[in-house]
Amino acid sequence: MRIIPAIDLINGKCVRLTQGDYSSSRTYNEDPVQVAKEFEATGIRYLHLVDLDAARDNKFNNRKILKKIASSTKLIIDFGGGIKTEEDIDSVFDAGASQVNIGTTAATDKDLFLKWLSNYSSEKIILSADSKDGKIRISGWQNRTGIDTLDYIDEYASKGLKYCVCTDISRDGMLQGPSTGLYKQILKLTNVSLIASGGVSSIADIEEIRMAGCAGVIIGKAIYEGRITLKELGKLC
C-alpha cells in the first residue's frame, strides 16, 4: 500500500484545513520544499501535493513549488488543484508530477475527463472523489453537487479509470479516524485502486485502511500535529 504524506499549499506555504474550510487554514511550515525533503529522508517515496489557491480561486502561483520539489527530490508526486485544461495537465507533468488529480472537471464535463483518461492513460490520471454526506463536492470542496459518490466512482471505473482518491470531507482534518466503511463500499462495487484520504490519526488507522483493501493512504494533519512520526511512516514504506 502506498504511504502518501500530503502537502497542501496556500500562498506557497504548507497548510492544513479542517473539513475543507479555508477560514480554518493553519500554516505549519513556510518551506514546503524542505518538508518534502524531510519526507524523502525517512524513506517515503510518494507525495500528494495540492494547490488550494488554484482549487478555489484559479490562482496558479504554487506550481513553481511543484517544480522545486520535483527537481530537489525523487518523490513520486501526484498533484491536484485547479486543473481544468490540457495545458494545465501538460504544465503539471512538465513541472515533474507523475500523476494529476482531477476533481471539478470530472464532475462537470464527463466527456472531457474521459478524453484525458484516454489521451494521458489511466496510469497518469487520478479521479478526485471528494465526498460529503454521500455526494460529490467540487471547486476546492466549496460547492455541492447532487452526484452520488458511489455511482460516480463506479461509472468511471467501468470506463477505464484505475486510480481514485476518495476524501470524506467530514473526516478531513478532524483526526477522528478514516471513513473505512465508505471505502469498503467502493471496493465492493468496483476494482479501482482506491487511495483513502481524511481522518487518519494513527498507525492503527493506516492498518485499518490497508486491511480494507485500499491501494494507498494519504496522511496530512496527523503528521503535522505529531500524531504519527515520519520514522513510523518510513518503516511502512
Residues annotated as catalytic are 8, 130
Can you say whether residue 175 is alpha, beta or left, with left for phi > 0 and alpha for psi between -120 and 50 degrees? left
| 3-state SS record for the chain | CEEEEEEEEECCEEEEEECCEEEEEEEEECCHHHHHHHHHHCCCCEEEEEEHHHHHHCCCCCHHHHHHHHHHCCCEEEEECCCCCHHHHHHHHHHCCCEEEECHHHHHCHHHHHHHHHHHCCCCEEEEEEEECCEEEECCCCEEEEEEHHHHHHHHHCCCCCEEEEEECCCCCCCCCCCHHHHHHHHHHCCCEEEEECCCCCHHHHHHHHHHCCCEEEECHHHHCCCCCHHHHHHHC
